[in-house]
Amino acid sequence: MIQHSLNLFFNPSSIAVIGASRTPTKIGYETLKNVLVSNYQGKVYPINPNASHILGLKCYPSVLALPYDVDLALITVPAKFVPKVILECGKKGVQGAIIISSGFSEIGENRLEDEVLETAQKHGMRILGPNTMGFKNATNSLDAAFVYGMPRKGSIALISQSGALSIGMIHLANSELIGLSKVIGTGNKIDIDDADLIRYFSQDSATRVIALYIEEIKNGKDFIEAVKHCHKPIVAIKAGKTKAGAKAISSHTGAMAGSDKIYGSVFKQTGIIRAHDTVELFDFTRALGSQPSSKGDHIGIVTNGGGAGILLADACEENGLVVPPLTKKTYKRIDDVLPPLIHPSNPVDIVGDAGFYRYEMCSRALLEDSSIDALIITSVQAGYARPREFAGAIEKMIYEQHLHEEYDKPIIGCWIGGKEYEDLVIDLKRAGVPIYPSTTRAARAIWALVEQGKKSFRFSKKSKN
Ligand code: ACO
């Protein structure tokens, strides 16, 4: 039942914009315009009792006056008119409504919200919001939100309690060349909430990873149930960790932040991977969306710069990961390709003149070593080494040869340098290769793959140090 109603929600055949405005500065105008300029293929009907045409489309005074069926209503009338509009939608047989309007429980108008929910439930209608930006479906190019900005098409579903933050995150993901499947502002969550969306996305073929920005979860039991049954990686930012943050939440949506310790232990128990900010959220989703989960916490490091290797070893250990010694066989293989006088260890320092071949040979040796579960390949723009050699090796190993699939071990890249590297990794990022410009970010991304592995597999004895 939930699946069916949310399917229609994200893939409606027809949309009514109720409160579509003639004035370009109003939200009702922007909302209608967004639906029209997106590549939405269904029917669109503006509803406004005071207008005959808006943006070239015939207007109807109410949904009840519309001689066609409507699957989804986008509501942009002032809050006090919303209960009547919802009642009309119910009578019309509208399946779902997005209430963009503010002025409900976030300012203490709980009764208005209760009335809306009661009417919607009576008519079997699903509600997103109120006080929401709406949603953006990159899979079918439907922009059902009032704020501009469409994500690149991809496989990460983003669910956010803050509309503005979700838009900022779309722009961040776009500039990081990360594709999203759908972006939803949950607003006050009177009906559709995080649990419903997790259930939906766990079955959505366009979605591989679910990302959440949470201020509060109202129905904790249902949320935990939904997460437990979801077999896709879930990454979440939980805001309001501190007293100042919790206070800011209550003035943002009127919600209670709840104890951060409780959220932390629920995340741990259910396997939700906690990200601390928006950059980290996308670092994690990029890795989880393209690499297999790690079957253990033993990390191999290949680097052309000793300092970068040490920083990575520190960052791995600080995140509870292990940088173990390698087998004798692996040392022998590495020794064969390294210049004389270099003693192989982990991190494997392939030194400043490392070219394509040395990166590839040493990486393969580590992937074939049973004491290694995951690999970080690093390059420092040290002048002596040509950045193209590193980028080419990563491209070949991950993008062309799919070594992460062949060995069923995650591989990520890390680089330290300037513009030349940044330009070289653009194509890699576009292809979904997880590659990061900092040792801390790379180690955290590997940590996320290890955490996901803990949920997917029971780690073998070797991994427990
Ligand atoms: N049915 C259809 N249309 C109606 C009805 C009705 N019953 N009643 C009025 N209208 C029309 C109006 O005539 C008007 O059209 P017009 O401009 O052509 O005359 C249009 O609906 C809008 O009504 P207004 O009274 O002009 O309302 P306004 O646009 O000023 O405000 C709004 C409405 C935007 C919903 C406002 O009340 C509001 O809630 N703003 C905040 C929205 C918000 O921020 N939401 C949270 C998003 S999350 C984030 O921050 C990213």
- CA 347, 352, 357, 359 dihedral sign is positive
Look at residue 3 in the predicted model and tell me its pLDDT. 58
Residue 155 near residue 168 (C-beta atoms within 8 A) = no
Look at residue 464 in the predicted model and tell me its pLDDT. 42
pTM: 0.93
- Best residue among 26, 162, 170 to mutate for probing ligand 1's pocket (most ligand atoms within 8 Å of CB) is 26
Instruction: Name residue, tokens 């990390």.
Output: 299
- Cα separation, 379 vs 235, whole angstroms: 28
- Best residue among 18, 47, 48, 183 to mutate for probing ligand 1's pocket (most ligand atoms within 8 Å of CB) is 48
378 beta partners: 303, 414
From first to last of its 465 residues, what are the pLDDT tens digits of the chain? 445 679 999 999 999 999 999 999 999 999 999 999 998 999 999 999 999 999 999 999 999 999 999 999 999 999 999 999 999 999 999 999 999 999 999 999 999 999 999 999 999 999 999 999 999 999 999 999 999 999 999 999 999 999 899 999 999 999 999 999 999 999 999 999 999 999 999 999 999 999 999 998 888 999 999 999 999 999 999 988 877 777 777 666 666 667 888 888 899 999 999 999 999 999 999 999 999 999 999 999 999 999 999 999 999 999 999 999 999 999 999 988 888 767 778 999 998 888 888 999 999 999 999 999 999 999 999 877 788 889 999 999 988 899 999 999 999 999 999 998 899 999 889 888 999 999 999 999 999 999 999 987 755 545 443
Those residues with Cβ within 8 angstroms of residue 383's Cβ, 6 or more apart along the chain or in another chain: 352
- Cα separation, 223 vs 212, whole angstroms: 12
Coil/strand/helix, residue 47 = strand
**Cα separation values, 127 from 213, 271, 349, 401, 426, Å:** 19, 28, 56, 46, 40
Look at residue 128 in the predicted model and tell me its pLDDT. 97
Residue 32: its H or E element: helix 27-37
**Domain covering 152-290 in this structure, CATH number:** 3.40.50.261
Residue closest to 121 by CA, chosen among 191, 198, 200, 193:
191
Domain ranges of the chain: 1-150, 152-290, 293-462
Q: Match domain 293-462 to its CATH number in 1.10.287.3510, 3.40.50.261, 2.40.50.140, 2.60.40.720.
A: 3.40.50.261
Q: In this structure, which amino acid lies at residue 358?
A: R
CA 345 to chain centroid, in Å, comes to 36
336: number of Cβ within 10 Å = 10
Ligand 1 site, residue 154, Cβ cutoff 6 A: no
Those residues with Cβ within 8 angstroms of residue 111's Cβ, 6 or more apart along the chain or in another chain: none
Name the residue at shortest CA distance from atom 20 of ligand 1. 19
Domains 1-150 and 293-462 share a fold: yes
Ligand 1 site, residue 112, Cβ cutoff 6 A: no
How deeply is 123 buried, as exposed, middle or buried, from its count of CB atoms within 10 A (0-12, 13-18, 19+)?
middle
- Cα separation, 456 vs 232, whole angstroms: 9
Look at residue 461 in the predicted model and tell me its pLDDT. 47
**Domain covering 1-150 in this structure, CATH number:** 3.40.50.720
Ligand 1 site, residue 132, Cβ cutoff 6 A: yes
- Cα separation, 94 vs 74, whole angstroms: 11
- Best residue among 18, 21, 133, 165 to mutate for probing ligand 1's pocket (most ligand atoms within 8 Å of CB) is 21
Return the ligand 1 atom nearest residue 185 CA.
Answer: 48
Look at residue 354 in the predicted model and tell me its pLDDT. 83
- Cα separation, 436 vs 423, whole angstroms: 13
Ligand 1 site, residue 18, Cβ cutoff 6 A: yes
Return the ligand 1 atom nearest residue 102 CA.
Answer: 39
